[in-house]
Structure 1
């Protein structure tokens, strides 16, 4: 069975624990439930199948039943707490607490570095900027940023990017990108940080309205769409992104770091509810 920090879903962890015990002994859901203090023989089976939820209050009992102690016990309870968190802020706090706990025990949580990367605009901008400013001191890089950032923040960001293997430092002390593009990790918590980044970049986009037209491109349309048209436009946007990334990564030189935002969001409720439901059902069938 994998280390507990390799799990992000407590249901998957419980299922893997059960499968491992079942493989090596006459373990049963009945015995498992009894040990955890549940009256229903199949309660934990239903939890793993997503039919029931494990409460934060009973997480400790299940952790005890699985023989978890110390760090692993606390980590499991935090996984359950994360699943019950209602807001992005609560989820973010639960995930960051798990990461801090793992780091204290010299372990890395799946998605930890990706989560930290997407939390701030500084990481993506400096990752693009530093490799194209050979020999530059942190203060020079700070001055090259449109947004206010200190030399100390640049140094801290560079250290993080190197540690996360998103930048590498050569013998001359210059930085190089380890990869041309970064793909988001398939971890539920990472999009939470990405939403923070999108909010930051959205605010910067508003500020950039004061820039000369020669330095920015902005346009927008208010459209009346069917759900089918929405899906087609979304597909076009995905294809467009792929072409943009291909163009950007085709050239090794950089003259300026830009941010490209593209949004398509509703300005009203769906008027034809039946069509929306129909399209969702059709999509599920496919």
Structure 2
């Protein structure tokens, strides 16, 4: 339960915000039930709020305005809440990126410089594929401030400026540190962000690495890459079994990498399983 005063600027999930707002009000003498909250914004249903909070339903612009009225939002809060809902309900990575940017700009416009909840540096780590590549290289060889040399190790190649920026970000995030000899080494720290930021950042990272996979067909000889594909017909149970197998295989690959004391290169390993058709009804007599 949230005991401190609720501040909308601290949230990147409108569902969590609504839930903790209600908990706060109830803890301070105002009795708000699911039904009374829904009724207050013009909805006659005792289960409506539950379906919203568990993500089964979204909310419309009309409901966004009604909630802002009930919460007595300022003009700035109304705009932030609306963008927050749009961000959470966006269907594509492009639109989520757009609303995320607007949220950051709105916070900066208000003077919230820290933007604590947005974790800008951590978000930045996933924005470029080569940040993780540089981090992996540092784990295998001695890397100093010779950014020209470091840039040459990365494939496809990056600039010395990009290599320098990578080092700067990795140091800032505590993922690497410089020793007394002037070389960088890995720390035991890991990236940790809120779910909404991390899920968006990882989606952006995956898009970049998938594009690298396409380019790798022409960029590298088949002797140093392995790219294959398979189109199959499966059930929901079959899909779940396959994703479980991939999860185990991913762990096995990580174990191989962790135990490889002679590592001398960085590889990207992608896994993709996605639909090529809608769910077919075997009882339907229709032509597809």
TM range (shorter): 0.7 to 0.9
* Residue matched to 2:273: 264
Residue ranges of structure 1 left out of the alignment (5+ in a row):
275-286
Q: Which residues in structure 2 correspond to 1:210-249 (within 5 Å)?
A: 210=218, 211-249=220-258
Q: What TM-score do the two structures reach when normalised by structure 2? A: 0.75
Change (3 A) 1:178 1:15: same
Paired residues of 1:11 and 1:47 also in contact (CA < 8 A): no
Question: Shift of the alpha carbon at 1:194?
Answer: 2.3
Question: Shift of the alpha carbon at 1:65?
Answer: 4.7
Paired residues of 1:91 and 1:189 also in contact (CA < 8 A): no
**How far apart are the structure 2 equivalents of 1:162 and 1:99?**
23
User: Aligned residue pairs: how many?
Assistant: 270
Question: Shift of the alpha carbon at 1:177?
Answer: 2.3
Q: Could you tell me which of 109, 114, 124 is aligned with 1:116?
A: 124
Change (3 A) 1:150 1:62: same
* Residue matched to 2:115: 107
Change (3 A) 1:86 1:237: closer
Secondary structure at the aligned position of 2:185 is classed as strand
Paired residues of 1:82 and 1:91 also in contact (CA < 8 A): yes
Paired residues of 1:11 and 1:48 also in contact (CA < 8 A): no
Paired residues of 1:9 and 1:79 also in contact (CA < 8 A): yes
- Over aligned residue pairs, what C-alpha RMSD do you find? 3.5
Paired residues of 1:169 and 1:176 also in contact (CA < 8 A): yes
Residue ranges of structure 2 left out of the alignment (5+ in a row):
284-288
Paired residues of 1:14 and 1:48 also in contact (CA < 8 A): no
Secondary structure at the aligned position of 1:139 is classed as helix
* Residue matched to 1:149: 158
* Residue matched to 1:168: 177
Question: Shift of the alpha carbon at 1:99?
Answer: 3.7
* Residue matched to 2:82: 77
Question: Shift of the alpha carbon at 1:6?
Answer: 4.8
> Does residue 1:140 correspond to 2:149, yes or no?
yes
**How far apart are the structure 1 equivalents of 2:200 and 2:232?**
28
Q: Deviations over 1:105-162 (max 9, x none)?
A: 2231256444322222122111112342422512211111112322112222222222
**How far apart are the structure 1 equivalents of 2:230 and 2:76?**
52
Q: Deviations over 1:44-68 (max 9, x none)?
A: x844651875444664664465465
Q: What TM-score do the two structures reach when normalised by structure 1? A: 0.75
**How far apart are the structure 2 equivalents of 1:124 and 1:185?**
16
Question: Shift of the alpha carbon at 1:256?
Answer: 0.7
Q: Deviations over 1:242-275 (max 9, x none)?
A: 111122123466411111122233334444567x
